[in-house]
Amino acid sequence: MTTAQLGGHAALVQNLHGRGLLDDTWRRVWDAVPRIPFIPARAWRQDPDGCTLLASPAERRALIHSDEPVVIQLDDGAENGPGIATSSNSQPSMVARSLGLLQVEDDARVLEIGTASGYVAALLSERLGEERVFSIELDPALAAHAEAALHAADYRPNLRCGDGEPGWPEAAPFDRLLATCALRRVPQAYVDQVRPGGLIVAPLAREFWSGALVQFTVQGDGTATGRFHGGASYMPMRSHRVVDGAPVDSGTARNRQTRLGTAAVLHLAFALWAGTRLPGVRLWHSDGPAGVQVWAQHPDGSAATAVAGDVWEYGPRELWAEIERAHRDYVDLGSPAAEGFGLTASPEGEYLWLHGPGNVLAPVLEPAGR
């Protein structure tokens, strides 16, 4: 279903403002920076079963003026690949939410990780002045496109083509850092390059939860801590991509029924909790004719899949039973909301907490009953 606005860009901005995602200042910025000049000639719509090329100008305009992402690269730019989306102009409501969490002030210096189309760099340049905006893009073709689009729109922020994981140390310190690609962990370089009291806003993705937005405040001791602010679906930083697990031994399959629905397993708050209880367990899902199907897998060869109350388990552990136990524990805690969870990043590593940084959630290293 399309979310295209009949009034084009102006109507899209009005929609975001009406939903409380843009304050008056950001609304003026968005009004001044239309999305369409930053979308390459070849672009795609992300469908459940793959990416569909935008074949007509009308189809292109409709998607760009909707609250939906626009895919701008497949297969890291390789020809004749499988057609996997590797870069996009993000969903406008997600961009608006991220920029709101950034809480920029008029004199802020901002580092963006992942220039992509250049659209977010343009919004930041309009809001803060181009000299205060720094943006890094790994992919040379995307970097060249973004620079051309930004210059055509009369914005000249500080741009760099290269790996964004080390940040931009010679331009530090920054007041704010915004990642527009999903991170498996927060690089210590980001914490070190943002001044104490500054903010980092980044989508994070781990084995058990596929994407969540976190707003960190940088502390004076080289750490950053902050709370989760809802789900966030972003393409991963290339160096943070997940490697597929080993094949499952189908000869160990055991079938049974479950009362635990897949929607409950995919709920962000539970996924945050379960990720600490079941370290190393990777979770993913897809839509199918029987409904949403969930897979779980651990490097020790254990795996499980569930759909419509039907469960198959494989390998040495009863992995779905462990997920069920984790869910019972979560319910016993009172089913806390995702906003009650937070994350602290430090030079020694990262840890998840509930209600406050002092209440660290320690992993369960062995499944119950073993």
Q: How far apart are CA 138 and CA 117, in angstroms?
A: 12
Per DSSP, 71 falls in state: E
Q: Is 49 exposed, middle or buried, given 0-12, 13-18 or 19+ CB atoms closer than 10 A?
A: exposed
Active-site annotation holds for 56: no
Q: Is 129 exposed, middle or buried, given 0-12, 13-18 or 19+ CB atoms closer than 10 A?
A: middle
CA angle at residue 324 from 318 to 326, to 5 degrees? 105
Host H or E run for residue 352: strand 349-354
Contact at 8 Å (CB) between 277 and 326?
Answer: yes
Give the full edge-to-edge strand order of the sheet including 85-89. Answer: 50-53, 44-47, 70-74, 85-89
Per DSSP, 74 falls in state: E
Contact at 8 Å (CB) between 164 and 136?
Answer: yes
Put residue 297 in one of left, alpha, beta given phi > 0 → left and psi -120 to 50 → alpha: beta
Contact at 8 Å (CB) between 91 and 73?
Answer: no
Tokens representing 326 are 């984790």
- Among 87, 90, 117, 302, the active-site one is 90
3-state DSSP helix/strand/coil % of the chain, to nearest 5 = 30, 30, 40
As annotated, the active-site residues are 90
